[in-house]
Amino acid sequence: MKNCYCGAKILFERCCEPKINRNVKAATAEELMRSRYSAYCIQAADYLVATTHLSTRKFHKKSDILDWSKSNIWVNLEVISTSEDKVEFKAYYLDESLKAQIHYEKSTFTFDNGSWFYVDGIFN
C-alpha cells in the first residue's frame, strides 16, 4: 500500500482509485485532474476517455492515450494553481529513454450533467 500517485498523503485505494473505478465522482476540477494523472500512472485509458468532454473527445484516441501512458514512467504531480474550472500543473516523468521530462499544462474543465470533464489544455 502506498500514497496516491496524485501526491495526496492518503492511499491510492482511498483517493483516486474509487474515481477511476467510477464508484465516486470527482467533486472538483482539481480532483478530476488528479485522478486523471493517476489514471496515466496505471494506464487506465478507458477512464481518461470517459472523463474527456464529448466536445473534444474525438481528438483523444484511446490507443494514443494508452501508448503515451505506457511509454513513460510517471514520477510526480505538482499542482500550481486552481480555479473552479481551470488547473495549472506540471507532471514530471521519464520518457522512453529515461530522460527526465516535464509536461506543463493549463487545463480547462467543465461541469456537465452532474460530472466534471476535461475539455482541453494549453501546453508549454
Residue 76: predicted pLDDT: 96
Structure pTM? 0.94
Q: Is the pLDDT of residue 66 over 90?
A: no
CA pair distance 11, 4, nearest whole angstrom: 5
CA pair distance 38, 16, nearest whole angstrom: 7
Band of pLDDT at residue 102, cut at 50, 70 and 90: very high
CA pair distance 101, 98, nearest whole angstrom: 9
Q: Is the pLDDT of residue 57 over 90?
A: no
**In order of start, what are the domains of the chain with their CATH numbers?**
12-123 (3.10.450.50)
Sole residue written with cell 490507443: 63
What average pLDDT does range 104-108 have in this prediction?
97
